Amino acid sequence: MARGRLAIPLAVAGAVVAAQAAVFLLRPPAADLVEPAPVDAGSYFSAAELARARDFRGPQGWLGLGILGVEAAALVWLVARPPRALLAPRRRPLVAAAAAGAGVSLALTLAPLPLQAVARERAKDVGLVTQGWDGWAADLVRGAAIGAVVAGAGAAAGVGLVRRLPRTWWVPGAAVVVAFGAATTYASPVVLDPLFNDFEELPDGRVRSDVLELAREAGVDVDRVLVMDASRRTTAANAYVTGLGHTKRVVLYDTLLDDFPPDEVRLVVAHELAHVHFRDVPHGLLFVALIALPGMFAVSVLTRRLDRGDAPGPQTVPALALALALVVTPVTWASNQLSRDVEARADSFSLRLTDEPETFIRFERGIARKNVADPDPPAWRSFLFGTHPPTLERIGIGEAYRRDPDPARP
C-alpha cells in the first residue's frame, strides 16, 4: 500500500531529476560565459522607472499565476466530475477521445479569459498593447482552433496507445513527444507563424550588412533574416531564432528596427547569431529527447491513478491532460535554468563578437524601459518562470566585460 501511495511522487521526482540531469549535461561551459559583475538597479534606472516596472509586473505575475490556477482547477474538476458525455459507452472511442481532447482544449482557453482580459487591459494602460479587442478576439479564435486540432490529435493518439499497450504505452508515447517537438519546430515558422503575423525579408541597408558581416565573423550560415510586424499588437521590442534546416531563420520585430539605433540592433543580431552558432534550437530538442522517457513514465503513472473509467476512452483525456500538466510544470521549472544559461551565453557571445559593452548596457536599459520590465524581479519568480536572466544580471555581464574585456573571440 505504501508503495502505491509513493508511486506518484516518486514518478514525478524521477522526471524532475532527469530534467536536472539534462540541464547539467547541456549547460554551457563556464568558459563561454562572462560572469556578471554585481550592480545596483538605482545606478541604471530612476526610482520612478523602477516603481513603474514593479507596479506593472508584480500584479501581472500574480495574474499569470491566477491563470495557471484557473486552468489547473478546470482540469481537476473535469477529472473529479467528468461530464456524462465522457462516460457514455462509445462505438468509436478514439473519435470520441479526439472530440474530448478538442473540448478540453477549448475549456482551458475559455476558463481564464477574464483574467487574461484584465492582464491585457493593464498592458494597454502602460502602452504595451496596440491591438484592438477585435484583433485580440480574432487571434484568440485562431489560436483556440489550432489548439483544439492539436489537442484532439494528441488525445486520440494517447488514448489509442493506452488501449493497445496498457502498461508500456509511455515508451512509444515518448517517441511521439519527440517527433511532435521536431515537427512543430520545423514547420511552425512556415505553417503557424504566418497565420498570426506578416514576415518580410530584411531590406538592404546597414542592418542587413551588419547581419551578413556578423554572420561571417561568427562562422554561421543564416538562411533568412526576417522582419515581423509586431507593431500590429505591441510596442515591445524583441528578436528570436526559430526553425530547423530549411526553415531556420532570425526574426526581428519591426519595433526593434524602428525604435533602436543601428548599433544596438547590431548587438541584438549578434545575440541571435549566438543561438545559431551554438545550435541552441536543436539542443532544445535534445533536452526534450533526454527527458521524454522518464517524463512520459511519470505521466503514465499519474494517468492510471487519475482515470475514473473502466477502460481507456474519452474519459481518460482529462486525466491524461492533468497528468501532463503535473509533470510538465516542474520539468519546465528545471528547464528554465538551462534557458537562462543559454541566454547568458548568447549575451557573452554578442559582447565578444562586437566588443561594444557600452552599447550592450545602453540597450539593456532601453529595452527594459520600453518593455516595462522589472530589472530585478524577486528571485523566486526568476527561478520558476524566468527564461532569460534578469535585466540587472545582463547589465552585470556588460559591466564585467567592460571592466575586463575577454580576449577570446568567436
Whole-number pLDDT of residue 2: 44
For 155, phi then psi, to 5°, come to -65, -45
> Is residue 132 over pLDDT 80?
yes
Helix/strand number for the chain, H first, E second: 15, 4
pLDDT in tens, 84-104: 777 666 778 899 999 999 999
Average pLDDT for residues 343-362, to the nearest whole number?
95
Average pLDDT for residues 11-29, to the nearest whole number?
95
Whole-number pLDDT of residue 243: 87
> Is residue 239 over pLDDT 70?
yes
> Is residue 409 over pLDDT 70?
no
Percent of the chain at pLDDT above 70? 96
Q: What is the mean pLDDT of the chain?
A: 92
Find the DSSP H helices in 307-315.
Answer: none
Grid coordinates standing for 82?
Answer: 467528468
Whole-number pLDDT of residue 89: 67
Whole-number pLDDT of residue 1: 39
Distance CA 74, CA 52 (A): 33
- Residue that wins the pLDDT comparison between 308 and 195: 195
Domain boundaries along the sequence of the chain: 2-198+270-403
Percent of the chain at pLDDT above 90? 79
For residue 235, CA distances in Å to 129, 130, 281, 306, 372 come to 6, 7, 26, 44, 10
> Is residue 247 over pLDDT 70?
yes
Could you tell me which residues come within 8 angstroms of residue 32 by beta carbon, excluding any fewer than 6 positions away?
A: 278, 345, 348, 349
Find the DSSP H helices in 204-279.
Answer: 206-218, 254-259, 262-277
